[in-house]
Amino acid sequence: MEILSGWGRRPRSAAHVMRPADRDLLRRAVSDGAVIPRGLGRSYGDAAQLSGGTVLDLTGLDHFRIESGQVVAAGGASLADIIDASVPQGWFLPATPGTRHVTVGGAVAADVHGKNHHRDGSLGSHVDEISLLTAGGEEVRALPGHGSFSATVGGMGLTGVVLETTFRLLPVETAWMRVDFVQRPDLPSVMEALAEADRRSRYSVAWLDMLPGRRGRGVVQAGDHASVDELPSRHRSRPLRRAPMRGLPAPSLPAGAVPAATGLFNRLYFSRSGQGVIEPMDTFFYPLDRLAGWNRLYGSSGFLQYQFAVPSGAEATLMTVAEALTGASTPVSLAVLKRFGPGGAGILSFPIEGWTLSADMALGDPDLAEILDRCDRLVAEAGGRVYLAKDARLRPELVPVMYPRLDEWREEKARIDPTGRFRSDLSHRLGLF
Amino acid sequence: MPLDAHGRPGRVLLLGGTSDIGEAIVRRFVQGGTHHVLAAGRKPAAALDDLAARVEHLTFDATDTATHGAFFDDVFSRHGPIDVVVVAFGVLHLPGEAEQNPDLAVEMADVNYTGAASALLHSARRMRDQGSGHLVVLSSVAGLAPRANFVYGSTKAGIDFLARGLAASLADSPVGVTIVRPGFVRTSMTAHMEPVMFSVDPDDVAQAVVAGLAADRGVVWVPPVLRPVMALVRMLPPALARRLG
């Protein structure tokens, strides 16, 4: 057995890991016992692990092809590989999370969103077809509107293996972004600036400083794909060439150093300013991908990312939760605020129209559990939810409150996987079915 | 299911269901979301019945080690994954009596060491197979330096040693071990004794266990000051240590 954990490095559990090299081996692997698919392990919590069961590492099944603005990709293909091939042809992802090191299967299972959610929705809304290998060994063709489709998008890998996904790409003229940076002194003014940025730009996000005494000051980034004539002349001849990103290995810091490092990072980050700054798309979309294995910064006791969404109108709850997080004895090392457009195609899709805040925090302090439990209750009362792809700690009784369509999903789950073979530590912990 | 990111278990097996410390630990676990408690002992632990969780009483005799294999097989197969096993049972006789009456010493060794060792090793093996889990072992500072209660201390020294070795052996597995080393705990087991310096209540031990699991700590001292105190005590020359009691 191998020990597995999510990106947050806790909790850990051991499973038999199978790495099927082709579809026949994969079909055999799902033919009995309890299984869960796994991609690049970027879910923060325990979604892609299964104590004592079988974990299917699908990264070996990574073929894809790009044709007429669409990509047909195996579940194990990574978004990084896809954009390496698609950007030179003038196509970008319709939605991308903050790292490109995720697989298509994982991205569908979490129904990932990006900085353009307010305009373009989550990945699921751009998917035309999913080919799903179910527990019965059957290949199901799931199309938008089908129960198997809406249970799989955002379904955390619990309906079967995503063999192949077809999704539409976004045409781009260049591999560059045109970005406006707006600094604001506190959370309410950041929220205002973010709302304004949404009206102008395809992409928007705010980095918040949630250290005590900083009042949630932040920098709003509003970006759009740059056109060729917006580029500096030296890049115009090869506009689709991506600037190479120099990767740095993350240093291993003693646990106590994370807050200091955070303060420094925030100071650097918040000093960024300017209007119409032209920057490489990788810098804009994947700033943390430069720091390989940055999750190790937190040491072996790990960290978590608390990400929740609340509907528009629940701004007061957002502020209260932000204050509670800032007041915790564990400092918030990174915080990102974003506005969501209407919800996604999946029954358990995370986005709801409103706001989402994510906060990275080191694990280890028992008081943090209580603070986050309280935040969960506030979020649930406001009609919000936490993101299952990030979760490693929610208590099961709140799941049906946060995801009121859970029963509908359970019906689909029971139809597609009647004996409940696809399961995970997450599904056990939260009693998802 | 493993524990959650805060080290909070969903299902707990308490060995020593009538132990005050065990009860306090389980109460704290239930506050943190534990939904299923299996309380095992020679007598049902009625004190646990008011918990806001499903509580089941199982019959378990620490000294009847021949029955342990079947007991743990049954628990782990019938109830599914057990996230935490708390080994809390123990016997404590007055220092003078234990020294004068070897039968009492043997009884303590049987329960506190032999029974606990068997329970730990049985649990560890099954947790390895289930791919997750955490063992909480009630040791004692009495096991760290021989004082008047050295007979009791020797049984705790034995189980502490075993637990440390087991933790090292499990280091390449997802199974964790937390050794709890309290000083004098005011419980029904110690009601016949005079409290000493650094005395604590069962709930102090329970809170320290919860914090230890959150931080994934291998050893928990209650109160924490006992760690430097015991380091000092162990450095004293025996004659001086005797005089200080």
Digit-coded pLDDT (tens) for B134-157: 999 999 999 998 888 999 999 999
In B21-80, the residues whose Cβ lies within 8 Å of chain A are: 32-33, 35
Interface membership of A13 toward B (CB under 8 Å)? yes
Residue of A8, A52, A369 lying closest to B131 (CB–CB): A52
Tell me the shortest Cα–Cα distance from A230 to chain B, in angstroms.
46
Q: What are phi and psi of A249, to 5 degrees?
A: -75, 140
The complex's ipTM works out to 0.93
Closest chain B residue to the Cα of A370, Cα to Cα: B32
Q: Which residues of B touch A8 (CB under 8 A)?
A: 5
Looking at the annotation, which residues of B are catalytic? 152
pLDDT at residue B208 in the model = 98
pLDDT, tens digit, 9 for 90 and up, residues A70-95: 999 999 999 999 999 999 999 999 99
Closest to A51 in 3D by CA, of B164, B82, B68: B82
Q: Report the run of H or E that residue A257 belongs to, with start and end.
A: helix A257-270
Cα–Cα distance, A346 to A146 (Å, whole number): 10
Q: Is A425 on the interface with B (CB under 8 A)?
A: yes
Report the C-alpha gap between B138 and B22 in whole angstroms.
9
User: Which residue on chain B is closest to A4 by alpha carbon?
Assistant: B174
Weakest-pLDDT range from A253-267, B50-64, B195-209: A253-267
Chain B residues inside the 8 Å CB shell of A369: 6, 8, 32, 214
CB contact (8 A) between residue A368 and residue B1: no
Question: How many DSSP H helices and E strands does chain A contain?
Answer: 14, 21
* Residue B54 burial (10 A CB sphere; 0-12, 13-18, 19+): exposed
Bridge partners of A278, per DSSP, are A178
What's the Cα-to-Cα distance from A96 to each of A21, A122, A359, rounded to whole Å? 27, 8, 19
CA B163/CA B165 separation, integer angstroms? 5
Q: Contact B131/A11, CB-based, under 8 Å?
A: no
Written as one letter, the residue type at B125 is R
Q: Which residue has the higher pLDDT, B123 or A250?
A: B123
- Please, what is the angle between helix A187-200 and helix A315-327, to 10°? 130
Q: How far is B140 from chain A (nearest CA, A)?
A: 23
Pairwise CA distance, residues B96 & B91, whole Å: 15
Q: Quote the mean pLDDT of chain B.
A: 94
A-B contacts at Cβ under 8 angstroms: 86
Do A13 and B6 make contact, defined as CB atoms within 8 angstroms?
A: no
Angle between helices B116-130 and B68-78 (to 10 degrees): 30
**pLDDT at res. A361:** 95
φ, ψ dihedrals at A403, nearest 5°: -120, 80
pLDDT at A272: 77
Cβ <8 Å between B216 and A364? yes
A280/B192 Cα distance (integer angstroms) = 74
A299 and chain B in contact, CB less than 8 A: no
Q: Is B31 helix (H, G, I), strand (E, B) or coil?
A: helix
Which pLDDT does position A289 carry in this prediction? Answer: 87
A420/B contact by beta carbon, under 8 A: no
Chain B interface includes A301 (CB < 8 A): yes
B214 vs B123: CA distance, rounded Å: 21
What is the least distance, in Å, from the CA of B100 to any CA of chain A?
A: 44
Angle between helices B150-169 and B116-130 (to 10 degrees): 20
Predicted local distance difference test score (pLDDT) of residue A251: 67
Beta carbons within 10 angstroms of residue A397's beta carbon: 13
* pLDDT score, position A235: 94
Q: Which residues touch A381 (CB under 8 Å, ≥6 apart)?
A: A317
The pLDDT score that the predictor gives to residue B245 is 58
Closest-CA distance, A64 to chain B, in angstroms, reads 34
Q: Is B218 on the interface with A (CB under 8 A)?
A: no
- Are A198 and A145 a contacting pair, CB within 8 Å? no
pLDDT tens digits for range B80-95: 899 999 999 999 999 8
Q: For chain A, list residues with pLDDT below 70.
A: 246-248, 250-256, 258-260, 262-263
Q: What is the pLDDT of residues B208-245, one digit of tens each?
A: 999 999 999 999 999 999 999 999 988 888 888 777 75
Euclidean distance between CA atoms B24 and A106, whole angstroms: 41
Task: Answer for the pair B135, B25: CB distance below 8 angstroms, yes or no.
Answer: no
Taking CA–CA distances from B211, the nearest residue in chain A reads A366
pLDDT at A271: 74
Q: Which residue of B has its CA nearest to A15?
A: B131
Q: State residue A110's pLDDT score.
A: 98
Range B69-80 burial, b when 16+ CB lie within 10 A, else e:
eebbeebbeeee
Contact call for residues A374 and A296 (beta carbons, < 8 A): no
C-alpha to C-alpha distance for A433 and B152, rounded to whole angstroms: 48
Cross-chain Cβ contact A11/B4 below 8 Å:
yes
What does DSSP say about strands A354-362 and A91-92: parallel, antiparallel, or unpaired? unpaired
Q: Which of B7, B35, B129 sits opposite A52 (nearest CB)?
A: B129
Cross-chain Cβ contact B131/A13 below 8 Å:
yes
- Joined together, the tokens standing for residue A358 give 């994510």
Nearest CA in chain B to A424: B1
3-state DSSP call for residue A300? coil
Residues recorded for chain B = 245
Are B174 and A14 in contact (CB < 8 Å)? yes
Instruction: Compute the distance between CA of residue A298 and CA of residue A255 in angstroms, rounded to an integer.
Output: 6
